[in-house]
Structure 1
Amino acid sequence: MMLTILAIDDSRTIREMLRETLRNAGFDVHVAVDGLDGLEKLHDIAPDVIITDINMPRLDGFGVIEAVRAGTSHAALPILVLTTESAPDLKERARKSGATGWIVKPFDDAKLVSAIKRIAAH
């Protein structure tokens, strides 16, 4: 079964790297430029996993996590935070908001793919 991934990041470079890495791993990849764009696309593509940055314009990653968790249709969707941030308090806040996992940029392709497969299996 091909997994569908929604990757939300305001960096074009990161979006392209994610698209390339995840497509090569056999995933169906959709990208969004910020949190609001991601939430708009969420209903159209019904992803198996969301990957989101934390620091973005319009709506940050915490806003994305909270909005997804507050909804009914995608409340249990695995959400992976992909960010340059590594502060323990931010990780804790993300976990409390409902993030499934946390990966620090720059990401290792193999680790990212294995993390996605691991959380999507639940």
Structure 2
Amino acid sequence: MQVLESANEIKERAGDWFEHASDYLEARWNLGVLDVSQKTASAISSLVSALILGAIGMLGLLFVSLGAAWLIGEKLQNLAAGFFIVALFYGVVGVILYLVKDRFIKIPVVNTFIKKFYYEN
């Protein structure tokens, strides 16, 4: 009889242990999901704010470029030449950026996203 009671007690303890283990695993899963959600939301919000600031910066650069082209064209007394000079400047800048894109654009962007996902902020 005592063996049966001992077996029932072991069975109850095993059931309790299994319940606690499943609760722990569920809590860890939920914590992981929340952590990934928080990091994803942070990365997306950073991306959106960078896109908005980039768009505003591009509009500002557009109007500064138009003004500079107009001013150069008036100084040369040929409006088209001013626009071609500014276009040539942007072409040179574009070629330079293309040549150094990995070092100055790709690697810093990738590093920023890695820091957002794998390190606490």
- The TM-score with structure 2 as length reference comes to 0.20
Higher strand share: 1
Higher helix share: 2
